[in-house]
Amino acid sequence: MLLSSCVVWRYRSFADFRAACPGGDPSLQQTIFDRLDEGLAWLEKLGAPVVARETGNPLTAGYRFEPRGLTNALVEAAGPELRFRASATDCDLYRDGPLILATGGFQASPELVEQHVAPAAPLRLRANPWSSGDGLRVGLERGAALSAGMDEFYGRNMPDADFGEAEFVPQAQLYGRYARVYNERGEEFFEGEVSWSENDLVQATARQPGARAWYVLDEAGLGRLVRDRTVRDYVEGAPTRLEPAELPFPAPAGAVTAVRVKPGITHTIGGLRIDRRARVVGDKGQPVPGLCAAGVDAGGVAAGGYASGLAAALVFGRIAAETAFA
């Protein structure tokens, strides 16, 4: 939460949710759609500061919070029992009682990303360094099934250069739909129209040679508006901006500039399979005794597309607590 732009949202209609994420579990999607508003009210009641009560996207509804204020509100609500830097082996302490897995996915494990997501080259991490699959491993040890979308991830195409936490949001290159996109061989590899989220383009880039792409822009593309910035603003701040003559393939007619990009992985989309009560389930749909999952340890919500990971974490985190400690 602390590293995000802190917009917690859902699609305005359930039909839009299904259309955007057709591979996801409809029952989990419906639960998020139905219960997000009460979750947002709960966060606000805890003292999380609301920056805006709209997302700025006509397709979505939700709140923008101030990241540090929201994080502090959750920490304060947890009280003195909250422990930091605990090992995943501490799960052994809870084998006889309820356990909620919420370690944040496996994007920080190069081995698991290579195994499941299978990008063409290692992906750079655009997230905290601790979400390395501990929840996935514990769940599988206890007989959990895997969800749909194990080969999918949410991320952003970033300049192909080093970046730190402070650049996670401002350096995201969110204008691929206004560019001509090429791989290292000079091939336009993305077929069809890029989605508004551009997550489909990011995943396609991850499977290109070297997991790289070039966004090539003309004057019209540079003038387009993305959120509150022009594409020109994004490009001028990119450290891997190139002149057309510097491209490793012939520049298309009208090209003015280009940016070399590489995906940064924010979180995985697949994970442990859960039911509507956030219970981890096995291959036959039977609950694994005493085990719940939330956040992106619980997979399959956004399979086939893109949805708010923060919304899924909020809704199923609260449901997991209700289930585990009822």
pLDDT of the chain, 326 residues: tens digit per residue: 888 899 999 999 999 999 999 999 999 999 999 999 999 999 999 999 999 999 999 999 999 999 999 999 999 999 988 888 777 666 666 666 789 999 999 999 999 999 999 999 999 999 999 999 999 999 999 999 999 999 999 999 999 999 999 999 999 999 999 999 999 999 999 999 999 999 999 999 999 999 999 999 999 999 999 988 999 999 999 999 999 999 999 999 999 999 999 999 999 999 999 999 999 999 999 999 999 999 999 999 999 999 999 999 999 999 999 999 88
Q: How far apart (Å, rounded) are the C-alpha atoms in residues 295 and 269?
A: 10
Q: Is the CA virtual torsion 259, 264, 270, 275 positive or negative?
A: negative
Report CA torsion sign: 84, 87, 92, 97: positive
- pLDDT on residue 15: 98
Kindly state the tokens that stand for 165. 């936490």
Check whether domain 154-265 has CATH 3.90.700.10, yes or no? yes
The confidence score (pLDDT) of residue 226 equals 93
Place of tokens 């989220």: 197
CATH 3.50.50.60 domain span(s) along the chain: 7-79+90-152+269-324
What stretch(es) of the chain map to CATH 3.90.700.10?
Answer: 154-265
Q: Name which CATH class applies to 7-79+90-152+269-324.
A: alpha beta
For the stretch 194-224, pLDDT in tens is 999 999 999 999 999 999 999 999 999 999 9
CA–CA separation, 234 and 225 (whole Å): 10
Q: Beta-carbon neighbour count of residue 10 at 10 Å?
A: 26
* Res 241: pLDDT: 96
Residues 97-151 have pLDDT tens digits of 789 999 999 999 999 999 999 999 999 999 999 999 999 999 999 999 999 999 9
Taken in order 15, 285, 267, 2, the sign of the CA dihedral is positive
Identify the three-state secondary structure at position 26.
Answer: helix
Would you state the structure tokens that stand for residue 268, as one six-digit string? Answer: 């995985």
